[in-house]
Amino acid sequence: MRFIGIALTLAFALACRQNESMAGSWLACFSRGVTDSQTTCGTVTVADTTLPGEAGQVYLLTHTVPLVAILPAGSALDTGSFGSLRRREGDDEWNLTLGTPQGVIYMSGAPTAPLSRHGDTLSGRWERICFSGCPGNGNAFMVRRGAS
């Protein structure tokens, strides 16, 4: 019986952690290609509210990541300083999109990264998704600032 109580406590703690707010300041770094030879970092500031009516969690954000450092020369993307961090209901993976106009959740051609969460760290690979195909991909990670 004691084991069941401990298992339920752990399951509840993990469920609460999954639903913990993503709001706050994060250090975000992106590399270009597979060798991480060119890496650029900046701050991602996630708003403290989620968008209503969305299935899952959607946070709007601002960022200072200099995307021109990782995007191929001549990219047609207007590298705005806004984006989103979102997760579908029941999904463990977060999707980060940067370089969008203010209030836009997703935009074709914007750097997008499906990220796995491990405590106060998110990591994965970013790419640009376009109808006609567009170059640009690499590694991405975010670490919550002030995390212990």
pLDDT in tens, 39-50: 899 999 999 888
Per-residue model confidence (pLDDT) at position 36: 64
Among 148, 10, 136, 142, CA closest to 73: 136
CA angle at 96 for the pair 90 and 100, rounded to the nearest 5°: 130
Contacts of 130 (CB under 8 A, 6+ apart): 108, 109
**Best-predicted range by mean pLDDT among 20-29, 33-42, 86-95, 122-131?**
20-29
* Residue 31: pLDDT over 70: yes
Predicted local confidence at residue 148, as pLDDT:
47
- The alpha carbon of residue 18 and the mean position of all alpha carbons in its chain are separated, in whole angstroms, by 15
Mean pLDDT of 58-73: 87
* Pairing state between β 137-144 and 121-128: antiparallel
User: First vs last Cα of the chain: how many Å apart?
Assistant: 34
| Domains of the chain listed by start with CATH number | 22-144 (2.40.128.120)
Which helix (H) or strand (E) is 4 found in, with range? helix 2-18
**Cα–Cα distance between 101 and 79 in angstroms, integer?**
8
Q: How many CA atoms lie within 13 A of 78 on its CB side?
A: 6
Give me the residues paired with residue 50 across strands: 59
Provide Rg for the chain, Cα atoms. Answer: 17
pTM value is 0.78
Q: Kindly tell me if the per-residue pLDDT of 6 is higher than 70.
A: no
Percent residues over pLDDT 70 in the chain = 76
**Span 69-125, pLDDT tens digits:** 887 776 656 567 999 999 988 888 999 999 888 888 888 888 899 999 999 999 999
Task: Please check the confidence at residue 14 and state whether its pLDDT lies above 50.
Answer: no
pLDDT at 144 over 70: yes
Instruction: Report residue 74 as tokens.
Output: 């001549």
Q: What would the mean pLDDT of 13-23 be, rounded to a whole number?
A: 59
